[in-house]
Each structure stands twice: as C-alpha cells, then as structure tokens.
C-alpha cells in the first residue's frame, strides 16, 4: 500500500537533495522556529515555510519530511490558516503538533469536536496499544514515535479543542487525563501527530519523539554537522564567485567575523575585508580585530584609522538620529572608496559579503506576521553602485553561527561577543561627542565588562556596558570638592533584545565596579545603576 501511495506522489523525480531538508509548516506564533531548531539539534537540516504553501510548491522543494507546527488560532476560527489537504497525499512522512494534529484529523476525515474542556500545562502521557513488559516504567509500544519514551512521562499541553474521532486508517497511540487522543498515527502512510508539544523543554521526551520521527519514521541520518555546513558553504561560495573578487565589511562582531573566516577558507586571496576604525569602538577592540584577521587568518585586511574624520564629522552633533545617520553614511562612503581603490588597483569587486542570518529572512504563515521581516542588514547602495550579494550565513540561527565560528577557529572573545551597535560608543555618550568623553567612557566601559565577565561565567547577562550622560554633579574626593561626570551602568537579561529586564547583579559586584571606576577613571565622581526594563526603556540610551 505504501508503494501505491508513493507511486502517486507528485514529488518530482529530479529530487535528489544533497542536503535532506525537513520543512516546518508554520501555523503562527513562535512554535515553528522552535521546531526547526529542535530538528537541527538532531543534526537534520530544517527550514520554515508558510502553512498555506501549495502541495506543488512544497513538492518542488523536495522535502524529506514535514512537520506541522502548533498555532494560536482554533482550527474553526474564520481566519485560521489551513494546509493544502493534498500535502497528505505526497507520500512524504508528516508529523503534526497541537494545531497540526487537528489539521491532519480534519483533512483526512476525522473529527475535532468543540469542547469547553481544554488542557493547559503539564499532563501525564499514557501510551496506548502497548504490549506491556514486566517493568511498568518501560512499557513497550508499537509506535515508532514513542520508542524509548517512558509510560507516564510529562508532556506539555496547550489546547481547547482536540481530536474526537481519528481519521480512517489511523489509531490513537497516547492519551492524557483530559485528552483521549494525545497522539495518533497511520504508520502505513507515515502520518503521525501529537496533541501535545514535543518541541518545548517541558515535554520530558520531546527531543526523543522528534528524533524517532526523523530517524526511524523518515529514515534520515544525523548528518547536518558543523563540518558538513562548512564543506557545503565553501563549495557553494566557490561555485558562486568563480575567480571574481569579494569585499566584506568587518566590524569585529560575531556575524561579520564568521562570514570573513568562512569566505577566507573558501576563496582565500579573492577576499578583501575592510575594517573601519571610526574611534567609536570599545577599548582594545581595533587591535584585537586586526590581530585575529591579519595574523591568525592572514586575510587581506584594509584597516582604516579614520578617527579624526569622525570626530570632525560629529563635532557639536547631539541629536541621536542625526548621529546615527552621519555615522552610517560616512561608513559606507569610506567602504565604497575602498571598493573603488581596489578596482583601480586591478581588483574589481563583483561581490559584497553580508552576515544576514536565517531569522532575518523567515517568512511566517501567520496573519499577524505575514510580512517578510525587513532585511535590516541590507545596505542602501549609493546610486550607480552594484554588487551581487553573498550571504553565507542566511540559513543559520545565531547560536549555530557561534558554533560555526568556533569550528572555523575564531577565538572565544569574538564568538561570544555581546551585541554592539553599529554607531558604537556614539549612542552611549548622551549629547555631543568629544575625544575626552570617548576616552572616559572607553575606560569605564572596560571596567564594567571586565568585572561582569569575571562574575558571569555562565553568560547569563545578555548585554552590559557603560553610558556617559550629558550632566555633571558635585562630589567630594579626599578633601576636595569635585564637579565631574557620572557613569551609568546598564546590564540586562534578554532572549532576543526585543524585550529585556535589568540584571539583578549582586550588590558586591556593583560596589566593586563603582569603586574601580571612580578610582581608576579620572573625571568620573559618581556611578549609578539603570533599573529600567524594556519596555518602557530601550537597552541602549539613544
């Protein structure tokens, strides 16, 4: 029967993907990203597509398996997104979670009655259809999906409606106290689904269930490793670039550093990196970037000291948006001057490398997030300037980029660098910018980072730095009255910088930083700690 189903499959015969891909159909909310990450943790490559993709489009992408995500809507809501029912005829193994089990049930002739009794939070999973063994905790089940999963383990539920009658050909394979069909399957057609969420950490055997589906049901291998990513990306870049020349703006941040290291491995001397030292960087940063890329990687690195140019440009400018605009425009002017100089020196640049990441590109199927996120790293090219883009990280999440950086031999201080705004210290000096203020802030900031680095070995604090406000206050040091600058310490916890909370640093750590800053940085006579979350504040002060 499986033979028959597969012979009717519209999956193109040309499908022979070098990299087997699991596509996650996104029914909204944040579940799809989490699922893609779990699949990738199982070392299988995964991408997200909108839930409403047609069966033809889906088949053309040659997926090795599909996962239907959960979603915030009820399947009966008028605006609810729906999968093309023909995807269930493609002969591709499918696993559905939560909203996904309900979609599958309705599309294939089952019933999902409205109930007033939902189930939220932890539930105990009872596996069905089992030939019971002597040990109750290790009940053996017929379902491949639940191999190695203990009877009575915890799963995470979040639903109101649930499957009442499974579709023809399916059997229920698990239940909980409130939910009669906590899982169902048609192993012949390789269609599986759970009402609970295996992708969340609260589901005790969640990762095991996902891996059972990938390895045992879909027959995939855990072959998507950092080494294989490097190998395929290097091959792709070589094929795209040929013997042309590539330019890359290196900031010393994680993304641009990994792009540079990867491209250097792929095309060696065909790569030129431009590092603009505008004087708004943190202490010792320019020297360390140059050391890593020139000495360790031997990249053709144009390191430009344009500090004076920027001081003159920013003199007397206090308005935050004006500062950002001037800094950004000048940066690209300098960058394009370098591209021009390379062309005049016989190395015309055809490609520009960028550190775009996967979350920048993800399309969501949900109504509220239906737009493609704005491509924030994209550079506004000046009129008449054309480069083709190379974006070697565009399939990766941030933590994968960090792993890749380590695999490529980048030092930890670059790989684990905290986010740092493009306009640098300029947005941490409130008011106009002078050399004196930059020097004060750089020293104070170095102390903040050194002390929190030493205390936070687990990297629990997302971002921490010093801010120099545009005020002075009276103090007393020794027997002398002082009239000096304060320093604001900002330290936040966050998952993605969209929201943040101020870090509950221990009083002793705050005291130590305050002491050191006042003793070691002449001109600072007061230290305060910012206890504002985001919202209502932002992480940066400008």
Q: Which positions touch ligand XMP (CB under 6 A)? A: 419, 421-423, 463, 497, 534, 538-540
Q: Report the alpha-carbon distance of residue 38 to residue 399 in Å, rounded.
A: 13
> What distances in angstroms separate CA 97 from CA 27, 80, 391, one per listed residue?
10, 16, 32
- Is 273 known to be catalytic? no
Q: Report the alpha-carbon distance of residue 328 to residue 423 in Å, rounded.
A: 7
Scan for tokens 């057609």, then name that residue. Answer: 189
Scan for tokens 């639940």, then name that residue. Answer: 146
Q: Report the alpha-carbon distance of residue 107 to residue 103 in Å, rounded.
A: 6
User: Helix (H, G, I), strand (E, B), or coil: what is residue 399?
Assistant: helix
Question: What burial class does residue 369 get, using C-beta atoms within 10 Å of its C-beta: 0-12 exposed, 13-18 middle, 19+ buried?
Answer: middle
Tokens of 494: 């966050």
Least distance to ligand XMP from the beta carbon of 280, Å?
Answer: 11
Say if CB 95 and CB 199 are below 8 A apart: no
For ligand XMP, the closer CB: 411 or 419: 419
Least distance to ligand XMP from the beta carbon of 408, Å?
Answer: 22
Least distance to ligand XMP from the beta carbon of 417, Å?
Answer: 11
User: Helix (H, G, I), strand (E, B), or coil: what is residue 365?
Assistant: coil
Least distance to ligand XMP from the beta carbon of 362, Å?
Answer: 18
User: Helix (H, G, I), strand (E, B), or coil: what is residue 498?
Assistant: coil
Residue among 47, 159, 197, 273 flagged as catalytic: 197
Residue 377: asked if its preceding bond is cis (omega within 30°), the reply is no
Q: Which residues pair with 249 in a beta bridge?
A: 274
For ligand XMP, the closer CB: 19 or 499: 499
Q: Report the alpha-carbon distance of residue 336 to residue 353 in Å, rounded.
A: 14
CA 185 from centroid of its chain's CA atoms? 32
Buried b / exposed e along 29-41 (16+ C-beta atoms within 10 A) = bebbbbbbbbbbb
Residue among 47, 103, 199, 451 flagged as catalytic: 199
Q: Which residues pair with 170 in a beta bridge?
A: none
- Is 119 known to be catalytic? no
Least distance to ligand XMP from the beta carbon of 462, Å?
Answer: 8
- Is 98 known to be catalytic? yes
Least distance to ligand XMP from the beta carbon of 439, Å?
Answer: 21
What are the catalytic residues? 98, 197, 199
């Amino acid at each position: 029967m499986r033979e028959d189903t597969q012979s009717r499959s519209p999956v193109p015969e040309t499908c022979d993907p070098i990299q087997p891909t699991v596509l996650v159909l996104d029914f909204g909310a944040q579940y799809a990203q989490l699922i893609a990450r779990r699949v990738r943790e199982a070392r299988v490559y995964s991408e997200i597509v909108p839930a409403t993709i047609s069966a033809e489009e889906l088949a053309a992408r040659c997926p090795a398996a599909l996962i239907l995500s959960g979603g915030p809507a009820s399947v009966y809501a008028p605006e609810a997104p729906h999968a093309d029912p023909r995807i269930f005829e493609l002969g591709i193994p499918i696993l559905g979670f939560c909203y996904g089990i309900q979609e599958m049930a309705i599309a294939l002739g089952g019933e999902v009655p409205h109930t007033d009794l939902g189930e939220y939070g932890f539930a105990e999973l009872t596996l069905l259809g089992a030939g019971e063994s002597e040990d109750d905790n290790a009940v053996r089940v017929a379902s491949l999906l639940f191999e190695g999963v203990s009877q009575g383990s915890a799963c995470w539920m979040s639903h109101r409606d649930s499957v009442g009658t499974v579709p023809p050909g399916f059997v229920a394979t698990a239940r909980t106290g409130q939910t009669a069909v906590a899982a169902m399957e048609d192993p012949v057609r390789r269609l599986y689904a759970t009402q609970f969420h295996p992708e969340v950490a609260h589901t005790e055997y969640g990762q095991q269930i996902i891996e059972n589906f990938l390895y045992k049901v879909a027959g995939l291998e855990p072959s998507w490793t950092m080494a294989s990513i490097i190998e395929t990306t290097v091959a792709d870049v070589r094929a795209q670039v040929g013997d042309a020349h590539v330019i890359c703006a290196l900031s010393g941040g994680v993304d641009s550093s990994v792009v540079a290291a990867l491209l250097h491995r792929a095309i060696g001397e065909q790569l030129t990196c431009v590092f603009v030292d505008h004087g708004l960087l943190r202490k010792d940063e320019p020297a360390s970037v140059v050391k890593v890329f020139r000495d360790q990687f031997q990249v053709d690195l144009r390191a430009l000291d344009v500090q004076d140019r920027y001081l003159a440009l920013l003199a007397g400018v206090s308005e935050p948006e004006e500062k950002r605009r001037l800094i950004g425009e000048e940066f690209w002017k300098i960058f394009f001057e370098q591209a021009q100089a390379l062309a005049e020196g016989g190395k015309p640049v055809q490609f520009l490398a960028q550190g775009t990441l996967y979350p920048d590109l993800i399309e969501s199927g949900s109504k509220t997030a239906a737009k493609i996120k704005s491509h924030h790293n994209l550079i506004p090219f000046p009129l008449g300037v054309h480069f083709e883009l190379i974006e070697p990280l565009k399939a990766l999440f941030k933590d994968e980029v960090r792993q890749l950086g380590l695999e490529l031999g980048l030092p930890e201080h670059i790989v684990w660098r905290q986010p740092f705004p493009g306009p640098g210290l300029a947005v941490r000096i409130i008011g106009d910018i002078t050399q004196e203020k930059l020097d004060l802030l750089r020293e104070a900031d170095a102390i903040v980072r050194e002390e929190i680095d030493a205390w936070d070995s687990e990297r629990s604090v997302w971002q921490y730095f010093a801010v120099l406000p545009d005020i002075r206050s009276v103090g007393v040091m020794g027997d002398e009255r002082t009239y000096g600058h304060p320093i604001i310490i900002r330290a936040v916890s966050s998952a993605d910088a969209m929201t943040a909370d101020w870090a509950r640093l221990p009083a002793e750590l705050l005291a130590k930083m305050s002491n050191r800053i006042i003793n070691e940085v002449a001109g600072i006579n007061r230290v305060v700690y910012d206890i504002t979350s985001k919202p209502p504040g932002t992480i940066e002060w400008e």
